[in-house]
Amino acid sequence: MPLSGLESAMQALMRKTSNAFDAALIEAPLPELRDDDWVLVKVAYAGVCGSDIKMLESDAVGQYAKLRPPVITGHEASGTIVAVGPAVTGWAAGDRVVYETTVDNCGVCRFCLSGDWNMCPSRKGLGSSMNGSFAEFVAMPVRNLHKVPDHVDLKTAALAEPLACGVHIVEEAGRVKRGENVLIIGPGPIGMCCGITAKANGARVIMLGTAHSRPRLKVAEEIGLTVLTNDAPDLEKAVMDLCGGELADISIDAAGSQSSFDQALHLVRKMGRIVIGAAPTHKPDPIVLDMTRFYRYQLQMFTAASTRPSGWKAAMQIMAASAGDLARLVGRCFPLSQWEEAFDVTRRKEGFKAMIAFV
């Protein structure tokens, strides 16, 4: 559906081919509304995710490849509606929004029917198989939209997607309960969003990081989380001291490495729950498991990839209540022309969430 009164072209970051690092700024045509219930959003801020780095550095081939080039990348963002299709009701130009990342799914498979759109075999994701948010404008179905609370700025709102990931990890996979002790390994944006989610659910949160991550751990402490570094003389004892004499009820691997998985396995109590919230790469990457401990401790392990629609609803409630905590996770902002620097800052884990600013 063509649009009138708007620019005919925009700047965008496109992954051009399946070859690693083959990305460039381009001038792209303004997105059209594919159907009557679609909207056009002017992007305000787009977050740089660790998965954006992994996809940039990997060939888009193999069974775990998400990218379908050529495609405009980027999936974490906030913005303002500038045009709506004729079938759209309840939304108007000027509304401040964030948006879910499943743009298309079959609607009839077991996963769609259970609300697990992220598992649909036909899923098309924003910024991977559908044009995404590293662009001045992005189009999507109205079902994807969530209104930004009035007291939340668009920069903070751009953290909605990682916060929805945190909800999927902590609430939907981890089934956290009030008063439980939750250990999170990795104080990056996803780990911190898990911490904010667990705290909002009434859990006691311990954030574990490396010595290199002390600046991030300082922020974690300032928003009310307990922190530990993995160079503690006796890490197991330190966790037990914080958890009333036993290990954590739930451990969350938010780093996605062999060492972080080992910590998640060895710092959770008998019959405890482990949630894997990150993976090392987009290629097959075996992790060694101490099966004896896993078996004898009768542990449960879950994984949580991407987001579900239900998680977005909960994330928006947490955002409204915890906007101040979330705002601490906003890092440096860069114009789209400096996307490589924004990616480098993310790669070096400087600060928290680097963002591309379009305002």
Which pTM value belongs to this model? 0.95
How many Cα neighbours within 13 Å face the side chain of 16?
8
Mean pLDDT of 304-318: 97
What is residue 282's predicted lDDT score, i.e. its pLDDT? 63
Residue with the larger pLDDT of the pair 172 and 280: 172
Least confident range of 228-242, 275-289, 297-311 = 275-289
| Residue-level pLDDT at 61 | 84
Tokens of 34: 């594919």
Residue 27 has pLDDT above 70, yes or no: yes
DSSP 33: P
Q: What pLDDT, on the 0 to 100 scale, is given for residue 281?
A: 67
Q: Is the pLDDT of residue 1 over 60?
A: no
- pLDDT tens digit string along 200-257? 999 999 999 999 999 999 999 999 999 999 998 899 999 999 999 999 999 999 999 9
* Strand (E) or helix (H) holding 262: helix 258-266
| Residue 124 pLDDT exceeds 90 | yes
Q: Answer whether residue 284 shows pLDDT above 90.
A: no
Three-state secondary structure string covering 78-140? EEEEEEECCCCCCCCCCCEEEECCEEECCCCCHHHHCCCHHHCCCCEEECCCECCCCECEEEE
* Confidence at 102, pLDDT banded by 50, 70, 90: very high
Task: Name the DSSP class of 54.
Answer: H
**Share of residues in the chain with pLDDT > 70 (%):** 98
Average pLDDT, the chain: 95
Tokens 């992994």 belong to residue: 54
d(CA 6, CA 175): 46
| Residue 66 confidence class, pLDDT cut points 50, 70, 90 | confident
Looking at residue 286, its pLDDT comes to 86
pLDDT of 280 above 80: no
pLDDT of residue 64: 81
Summarize pLDDT for 261-277 with one digit per residue, the tens: 999 999 999 999 999 99
Confidence bin at 4 (pLDDT 50/70/90): low
Residue 21: which region, alpha, beta or left (left: phi > 0; alpha: psi -120 to 50)?
left
Q: How confident is the model at residue 3 (pLDDT cuts 50, 70, 90)?
A: low
In this predicted structure, the answer to whether residue 7 has a pLDDT above a threshold of 90 is no
Exposed e or buried b per residue across 17-32, where buried means at least 16 C-beta atoms within 10 angstroms of its C-beta = ebeeeebeeeebebbe
Q: Is the model's pLDDT at 342 over the cut of 90?
A: yes
Q: Kindly report, residue by residue over 84-99, the tens digit of the pLDDT.
A: 999 999 999 999 999 9
- Between 284 and 43, where is the model more confident? 43
Residue 63 has a pLDDT of 79
In percent, the amount of the chain with pLDDT more than 90 equals 91
| Residue ranges of domains in the chain, CATH in brackets | 9-159+329-357 (3.90.180.10), 166-303 (3.40.50.720)
